[in-house]
Amino acid sequence: MMAGMTETPHPLYDRHADTLNRALTAITERGYWSAYPESPSPRVYGETAAADGKAAFEAYLGGDFPLDQPGSGARVATETSPFGLELAVRYPHAGTGELVSAASAALPTWRDAGPQARVGVCLEILDRLHKHIFELANAVQFTSGQAFVMAFQAGGAHALDRALEALAYAYAEMTRHPGTAGWEKAAGKGDPLRMTKTFHVVPRGVALVIGCNTFPTWNSYPGLFASLVTGNPVIVKPHPRAVLPLAITVKYAREVLAEAGFDPNLIMLAAEAPGEKLASDLALHRAVKIVDFTGSTEYGDWLETHARQASVYTEKAGLNTVVIDSTDDFAGMCRNLGFTLTLYSGQMCTTSQNILIPAGGIETDQGHKSFDEVAGGIAAAVGKLTADPARGVELTGAIVNDGVLERLAEVTKVGEPVLESRAVAHPSYADAVVRTPTIVKLTADDAETYGREWFGPISFAIATDSTAHSLELLRRTVGEKGALTAGVYSTDEAVLDAAEAVAVEVGVHLSCNLTGGVFVNQSAAFSDFHGSGANAAANSALTDGAYVANRFRIVQSRRHV
């Protein structure tokens, strides 16, 4: 059945219609809602779910990953766990031509199935992944370095929520127009002109998702499912150090597609050999019409410049910034920022790097605090969270790659440390690479240092002339380099309004006076937008109408009655 024609409801659409309708409501209301529980408690998922999921994960280790897709029969194994666990999973290898050819052949039937069938199948894929959430969480943990609870939440439940959010936006956009319409126009004294018009939802072509090491599912799922549900076959190219979470995703997605009567090659894994540059080869292929990427500014810029045949969606580096003017809860502010800097050792694209504080200090509920007292209060909060290794590693996780360690060594040569990073012995994994955060004092003149991203557990307490000067630095640095998050602390409504005006100007999402259980580096699906597409850190937002609408086109056919 062609996509523009009246559709007969698909069985999988019927099965998941309630979930879709609730998601469609959630994206318009923007309140709190989640389809997938974020607690790994046995009371939620059952007494054996955690053990079953870990066993399923461990069964993959040291073996050939069970994925039947086009390829030469060769295998590649490239992952190294930040926890020191031996992974050695071997994935099927295929070249650019094999992948693109198989994906292209799968497109027509998927296109013609229509939006309802496609969204039903995609919702069933999410349901299948949710049934294997512990398996997925273990894979995320041991490839990314996240602690387990974070891997379960961000890599499992929250990633699924973001995927569902993308499906809701895509379905809303695909069904914005009717499938058919009658058209009549008066023609003087003669009979009116009458036509019937059919509007077909047509996918762009093959889609490519280039995964990242730190959040292999959370950052990949929105683009993956936005492309798939709009009719585009998807080639998933994981980061070489974090293949398993996306391989598991592809495995279960292919199972669902085959069970629903579709070509499983609508989604394929593109595991690359060392030095192969498979992502670049795929991104430049003329049949690849959509590219989603999370990672470095350098490569994101390259994709935007060279993959000219495709719509390219990128999330890159930025200078996430906090402006501190004053606070009526000094202890709460320090705890909140301390947690922000500690979580996953700052290895989040949303973690604050530059903390702007007036050199003369700030007013608080505890009286006036000097610049050093403010910086020291934040450092003490980090120190408290990381003092006990057994508890601290459940927040810090492990260091994802050597680049972070190199930056930690480099930052010791600049500024004055308020808090030095230290190595921590992980109580469960002797070979895990764990480092606590460092905070370094700088002045506003040290723009060469704080004007670039130091990805990892590195932040700067920067002395400014005044809050007005801090806001100007926020405007200039984020205006030039971009950011995904900004924060402000002030008891003065005029300062909050001024900060919001700067945030709107430079296109960065702003959080005000966070002192409790909400943190600047976390965002909630269906309510918070991740990235804005309005500054250099990202050219799109996860997720909004613009994120999905360019993944398909409307093609019309008209006939006289």
pLDDT above 60 (res 59): yes
- Whole-Å CA distances, 261 to 18, 117, 121, 229: 23, 11, 10, 16
The Cα–Cα gap between 412 and 416 comes to 8
pLDDT above 60 (res 3): no
Q: Residue 403 in contact with residue 409, Cβ under 8 Å?
A: no
Is cis: bond before 180, omega within 30 of 0? Answer: no
Helices (H), 317-430: 330-342, 371-386, 389-396, 402-411
Bridge-based pairing of strands 234-237 and 206-210 is: parallel
Strands of 211-263 (E only): list them.
Answer: 234-237
Q: Per-residue pLDDT tens for 110-145?
A: 999 999 999 999 999 999 999 999 999 999 999 999
Q: What are residue 461's phi and psi, to 5 degrees?
A: -95, 110
Own/partner pairs, 182-191, CB within 8 angstroms, 24+ separation:
182/561, 183/558
Average pLDDT of the residues in 194-209? 97
- CA 516 to centroid of chain Cα atoms: 24
pLDDT above 50 (res 2): no
The Cα–Cα gap between 265 and 255 comes to 10
Q: Residue 414 in contact with residue 442, Cβ under 8 Å?
A: yes
pLDDT above 90 (res 6): no
Q: What's the confidence (pLDDT) of residue 8?
A: 67
Average pLDDT of the residues in 225-254? 98
Superfamily of domain 46-180+192-317+540-560 in the CATH hierarchy: Aldehyde Dehydrogenase; Chain A, domain 1 (3.40.605.10)
pLDDT bucket at 184, cuts 50 / 70 / 90: very high
Q: Per-residue pLDDT tens for 265-285?
A: 999 999 999 989 999 999 999
- Output Rg (C-alpha) for the chain, integer angstroms: 25
CATH topology (fold) of 321-512: Aldehyde Dehydrogenase; Chain A, domain 2 (3.40.309)
Residues with Cβ within 8 Å of 430's Cβ and at least 6 positions away in sequence, in order, are 84
Helix 389-396 vs helix 371-386: crossing angle, to nearest 10: 110
Q: What's the confidence (pLDDT) of residue 4?
A: 42
Q: Per-residue pLDDT tens for 26-48?
A: 999 999 999 999 999 999 999 99
Residues with Cβ within 8 Å of 26's Cβ and at least 6 positions away in sequence, in order, are 33, 165, 168, 526, 527
Percent of the chain clearing pLDDT 70 (strictly above): 99
Classified as helix, coil or strand, 112 is helix
Ordered by start, the domain boundaries in the chain are: 46-180+192-317+540-560, 321-512
Average pLDDT, the chain: 96
Q: Residue 519 in contact with residue 333, Cβ under 8 Å?
A: no
Q: Per-residue pLDDT tens for 305-338?
A: 999 999 999 999 999 999 999 999 999 999 999 9
Q: Per-residue pLDDT tens for 355-399?
A: 999 999 999 999 999 999 999 999 999 999 999 999 999 999 999
Residue 84, both tokens:
């020191």
Residue 53 burial by Cβ neighbours in a 10 Å radius (0-12, 13-18, 19+): buried
Q: What's the confidence (pLDDT) of residue 7?
A: 60
pLDDT bucket at 71, cuts 50 / 70 / 90: confident
Residue 246, both tokens:
């996306």
pLDDT above 60 (res 205): yes
| Torsion sign across C-alpha atoms 204, 206, 209, 210 | negative
The Cα–Cα gap between 103 and 114 comes to 18
pLDDT above 90 (res 1): no
Q: Per-residue pLDDT tens for 501-559?
A: 999 999 999 999 999 999 999 999 999 999 999 999 999 999 999 999 999 999 999 99
Which candidate, 149, 147, 161, 152, places its Cα nearest to that of 132? 152
